[in-house]
Structure 1
Amino acid sequence: MNFEHSEDRRMLADTLDRFVAEQYGFETRNAIAYGDVGMAPALWNQFAELGAIGALFPEADGGFGGAGFDVAVVFESLGRGLVVEPFLGALMVGRALVAAGTEAQKERIASLIDGSAIAALAHDEPGSHYELSRVATRALRNDGGWKLSGAKAVVVQGEHAQLLLVSARTGGEVDSEDGISLFLVPADAAGVVLRGMGRMDGGRVAEVTLNDVQVGADALLGAEGQGFATLELAQAWGLLALCAEALGAMEVAKRDTLEYLQTRKQFGVVIGSFQALQHRMADLLLEIEQSRSAVINAAAAMDADRSTRERALSAAKYTIGRIGTLVSEESIQMHGGIGMTWELPLSHYAKRLVMIDHQLGDEDHHLARFMALGRGA
C-alpha cells in the first residue's frame, strides 16, 4: 500500500504550514491561546478561506476531502503550530451531521466549512471518566419537542459555539449504549448556561448546564435512542485528529531539541557530541516514527469495519499518549532548565502533548479498550 500523500494533500500541508509560520508565530499564538477570548475569529475565517475546514469533509457534503488522510494532514499542520481554533468541534459535529443528519440538518455543514458558524460537541460529563456510553443528561419528549436537563464538562471552545451537539439519555441505564440520543442545541437557547475557563495548554473550554432547555422535534439527530453509533463515529474522527495533531507537535519538539543539541556547548564542545545524548535522541526518533506509523494505520482504517477502525484508533491513541509523554520529558531534560521556561516554545509543546493524552481517553483507557475490542466486547 502506498502511504505517500497525494499532490493535493502535499499542497494543502505546504499551504497550511506556510500560513501558520507567517501568521501564527509563537508570540502571536500565545497571545491568542492565553487571552480572554482563547481564539482569533479573524484567523479562523482565514483558515476557512484556505480550505482547512473544507478538507475535513467529503465532496458530497460541500467539502473537498474527508478521507482519513485529509484529516491527518490538516491536524498535523495544526499541531506544528499549536493552533487553538475550534477545528476539533467542527470536525466531530460536522461528521455526526454527515452520518445521521436529515437534509435540512446537513445544510448546517456549509456554515461550518466557511467558518461562519462554530460548533462544539457537548458530551463529556463530570465523573464519566472517558466512558462514551455514560450519559446522565436527560431528554424528555413533550408537545413542543424535547426538554433537556443536565451538565456537560470541558466543552472545547464552547463559549464561542453557536451550535452544540448534546448527548442526552432518552432511555436505558446511565451507562448503557442503548437509549442515547443526540440533539442540535443553539448555544443561545433559553436555559443554556455556559461558564468558560482557560486551559492550561492554551485555548478555552466551557462547562455547559442545561436547565430545562426546550428544543423542537427537528433538533433530534438520527433515531431516538440510537445515537451511540453516531457519537462513536464522531469521536473516531476526533481521535484521529488528536493523534495527528500530537504527531505534528512531536516533530517540532524533535526539531528544536536536535537544534539545541547541535548548538549548546559544554566543556568547549556541543552537547550533541556526547554519546549518551546521541543514544537518547536516536531512541526518541524511533519512537516518533512509531507514532507516525500508528497515525497512518488509523487514517487508513477510517473506512474499514467498526472493529478494525476502533482498534486502530485506540492503538494510535495509546501510542500517542505514551510517546507524547516520553517526547515531552526527554526533550525538556535534554534542554535542561531552560526547557521549562515560558519563553521557550518547547514547554508549550510539552504541555499540549501531555494534555492530548487526556482528551477523548488517555493511554490507559485506550489500552483497555483495544484489548476489549479484541475480545469482541
Structure 2
Amino acid sequence: MALVLTEEQSMLRDSARGLIGDKAPVSHLRQLRDARDAAGFSRDLWRTFAEMGFAGLLIPEEFGGGGLGCVEAGVLMEEIGRTLMPSPFLATAVLAASALSRGGSAAQKSQYLPKIADGSLLAALAIDEGAKHRPLMTGMQALRSGNGFRLQGDKAFVVDGHTADLLIVAARTAGNAGEGLGLTLFLVDPRSKGIATERTAMVDSHNAARIVFDNVEVNADGVLGEVDQARGLLEGVLNIGRGAVASEMVGLSEEVFNRTVSYLKERRQFGKLIGEFQALQHRAARLYIEIEITRAAVLKALQTLDGDFANAAAAVAVAKARAGSTATSAVQEGVQMHGGMGMTDQFDIGFFMKRARVCQELFGDSNFHADQLARMKGY
C-alpha cells in the first residue's frame, strides 16, 4: 500500500486542522494552564469533536460510530500534535473505544460505545504502576470475592484519569508480576467505594492521575474479555495507542520544524539572517529528512494495524521508537536555534519540548520499543 493518505483521509485531515487550529491553538493550552482549569481540557470543544464524529471514529457504525481505522485516528492525532491540544481523544476515543470494541461483550458494547461516540462518556486506561511503561509488571491484585473480584493496588500515569466516567483497569488474577498469563481487564466505575483519585498535572500541562484501589468490588459483568487471558487484548489496544501517540509526535515535530524555519528567516545576527548560515541550513535539512522518514514509518504502522492487526507489533515498535527519537531531535534543535529565549515561557517552543518528553515515555520510550523489536527478531 502506498504511504500516502487517500482523498477521504486528506479531507478528514483538512477538517480536523481547520477546527483544531481555530479553536485550540497553543494559546488554548497556555490559557488552561494559567487558569488551573479543573478538567484540563475544553468540554465544549469535546462536544464539538463528538458532533463532527471524531469521538466515535474507531467505533463500529452499529454503535453510532464512524467505523474508520487507525490511519484516520492517526490523522487526528497528528493535528492534535501540531497545537498541543489537551483532549480526551487518546484516552477515550482511541484506547477505551478500541478496548471495548475488541474485547467487550455485546452488552458492554451496547452500554458504553454509543456514549463514547456521542461524547457523553469519558474513559481512561489504567495500566502502569511504576515510573516506566512495563505492562507485564502489573502487580495489582484482583482476588475472587463472591460473584466477582476485589481490586487492591495503585495505578500511575493514567492519562485523563481524573475526568473519567469509566476506568479500564489491568489487574492480576493469577501468576506473578512479569508473567503474561494471569492478566485480566476490568471495567470499573471511578466513583466506586475504595477508589481515591489524585490528579497530577504533568510537566507538559496535560493531565494524568494516580489512582488507588482499596478492596474495590467489581462483579463478574465488569470483566472485559476473558479472565487470565487479557495479554493479547491489552497488547493490541496498546499498539493502537502507540501508533496514535507516534502520529501526535509527527505533528509536533513538523510544527516545531516549521516554526524554527520561520524564525531562521526572521532573526538577524552579524547583519545577516541566521538562516543564511550554512551550518544551520544543514541542521534544518537533516531534521526535515528525519521527519519525513518517520512520517512514512508511522503511516506504515497504522496501515498495518488496519490491514494485518495480528502482525503489526513490529511496525508499531519501529514507528514509536523512531517518532520518539525524531521528536526529541526536533524540539532540541528548535530550542537551540531559537537561542536562550527558546526555553522562556514567552515562546511556545518550550511547550513542544515538554510534550515531546511526555509522549516519549507514554506507552514505552524508544529504548523500550527497540528492545521489543530485538526480542521479536530473536536477539
- Give yes or no for TM over 0.5: yes
Tell me if the contact between 1:55 and 1:74 (Cα under 8 Å) persists in the aligned partners: no
- Give 1:109 deviation, angstroms: 1.1
Structure 1: how far apart are the matches of 2:87 and 2:310?
31
Structure 2: how far apart are the matches of 1:353 and 1:2?
28
Q: Deviations along 1:160-198, whole A, 9 cap, x unmatched?
A: 001000011111122111010110000101111101121
Quick one: structure 1 residues 72 and 150, their matched pair in 2 at CA, closer, same or farther if it must change by over 3 Å?
same
Question: 1:300 — aligned with what?
Answer: 303
Tell me if the contact between 1:33 and 1:39 (Cα under 8 Å) persists in the aligned partners: no
Tell me if the contact between 1:139 and 1:149 (Cα under 8 Å) persists in the aligned partners: yes
Structure 2: how far apart are the matches of 1:294 and 1:258?
24
Tell me, yes or no, if structure 1 residue 77 matches structure 2 residue 88: no
Tell me if the contact between 1:307 and 1:373 (Cα under 8 Å) persists in the aligned partners: no
2:126 counterpart letter in structure 1:
A
TM-score calculated relative to the size of structure 1: 0.96
Structure 2: how far apart are the matches of 1:33 and 1:239?
26
- Give 1:89 deviation, angstroms: 1.2
**Which structure 2 residue ranges, 5 or more long, are not aligned?**
none
Question: 1:351 — aligned with what?
Answer: 354
Within the candidate set 169, 173, 189, 1:186 is matched to 189
Q: Deviations along 1:26-75, whole A, 9 cap, x unmatched?
A: 22221224523211211111111122222233435432243121111110
Q: How does 1:207-226 map to 2 (within 5 A)?
A: 207-226=210-229
- Give 1:130 deviation, angstroms: 1.9
Within the candidate set 39, 42, 47, 1:40 is matched to 42
Tell me if the contact between 1:55 and 1:64 (Cα under 8 Å) persists in the aligned partners: yes
SS at match of 1:328: helix
2:130 counterpart letter in structure 1:
P
Question: 1:66 — aligned with what?
Answer: 68
Within the candidate set 352, 369, 373, 2:376 is matched to 373
Tell me, yes or no, if structure 1 residue 289 matches structure 2 residue 266: no
Question: 2:97 — aligned with what?
Answer: 94
Q: How does 1:116-195 map to 2 (within 5 A)?
A: 116-126=120-130, 129-195=132-198
Quick one: structure 1 residues 320 and 99, their matched pair in 2 at CA, closer, same or farther if it must change by over 3 Å?
same
SS at match of 1:32: helix
Structure 1: how far apart are the matches of 2:307 and 2:179?
25
**Which structure 1 residue ranges, 5 or more long, are not aligned?**
none
Structure 2: how far apart are the matches of 1:61 and 1:2?
31
- Give 1:126 deviation, angstroms: 2.3
Tell me if the contact between 2:25 and 2:85 (Cα under 8 Å) persists in the aligned partners: no
Structure 2: how far apart are the matches of 1:124 and 1:338?
36
Tell me if the contact between 2:12 and 2:72 (Cα under 8 Å) persists in the aligned partners: no
1:256 counterpart letter in structure 2:
R
Within the candidate set 196, 199, 224, 2:199 is matched to 196
Question: 2:56 — aligned with what?
Answer: 54
Report which stretch shifted further, 280-289 or 36-45.
Answer: 36-45
SS at match of 2:170: strand
Structure 1: how far apart are the matches of 2:59 and 2:346?
37
Question: 2:249 — aligned with what?
Answer: 246
Tell me, yes or no, if structure 1 residue 112 matches structure 2 residue 86: no
Structure 1: how far apart are the matches of 2:91 and 2:58?
12
Tell me if the contact between 1:58 and 1:67 (Cα under 8 Å) persists in the aligned partners: no
Structure 1: how far apart are the matches of 2:33 and 2:64?
30
Q: Deviations along 1:97-144, whole A, 9 cap, x unmatched?
A: 1111111111201111211111000110025x3222111111122224
Tell me, yes or no, if structure 1 residue 12 matches structure 2 residue 41: no
SS at match of 2:244: helix
SS at match of 1:263: coil
Quick one: structure 1 residues 58 and 6, their matched pair in 2 at CA, closer, same or farther if it must change by over 3 Å?
farther
Quick one: structure 1 residues 307 and 101, their matched pair in 2 at CA, closer, same or farther if it must change by over 3 Å?
closer
Structure 1: how far apart are the matches of 2:302 and 2:309?
13
SS at match of 2:312: helix
Quick one: structure 1 residues 367 and 307, their matched pair in 2 at CA, closer, same or farther if it must change by over 3 Å?
farther
